[in-house]
Amino acid sequence: MSRFFIAIVLSIVLFSCKSGVPKNIIQPAEMENVLYDIHVVDGYATVYSGITNDSLKKLIAPYYKGIYKKHGIDSALYSKSLDYYYNHPEVLKNIYDNVGKRLTLAKEKIVKDEEKAAQKLAKEQEKAAKIAAQKLAKEKEAAAQKAKDEKDAAAKKVALAKEAAKKKAATKKLKK
């Protein structure tokens, strides 16, 4: 009987010392996802730092509702879970360590994408500048050719006029 009693006591102790987050609280992995999404929205909201707090709350409220819907929670469960994690800072720290890493990776990706876009834009601008320079060079060449042709035509007219004048003078001499 004493062994049976010891087994029951041990079972009670083991099951009562069960570690983990209660089932009525958002679990750490999902809380990490929720907090990540919320901090992304908060980052977006900081862009609008020039507007009043009330307007800012109205601006981001639909985003928060979307986050709650995406994760299948509501604001009450979120608040209750956040209170739980505030009372368990070691778990909250682990969650925020992961959120911080994810936000840093997302920021690095954005910076990398912006750099790629800037490089692509610079190449496109360089290409457009080359095309414009080639077009300008062709136009300049065409204008120079036109000026040369006009000069040659004028010189030819002058030569013809001189020749005509000589013929006229020679014809006058013959008539005399």
What residue ranges do the domains of the chain occupy? 23-130
Question: Which range is least confidently modeled, 2-6, 48-52, 100-104, 158-162?
Answer: 2-6
The number of angstroms, rounded, from the C-alpha of 168 to the middle of its chain's C-alpha atoms is: 81
Residue type, 24: N
Residue pair 60/45 in contact by the 8 Å Cβ criterion? yes
pLDDT of residue 11: 46
Residue 7 pLDDT > 60, yes or no? no
SS3 of the chain: helix, strand, coil, percent, to 5: 85, 0, 15
Residue 14 pLDDT > 70, yes or no? no
The three-state secondary structure class of 2 is: helix
Q: What are the CA-CA distances from residue 122 to residues 114, 115, 128, 171 (Å)? A: 12, 10, 10, 72
Residue 98 pLDDT level (bands cut at 50, 70, 90): very high
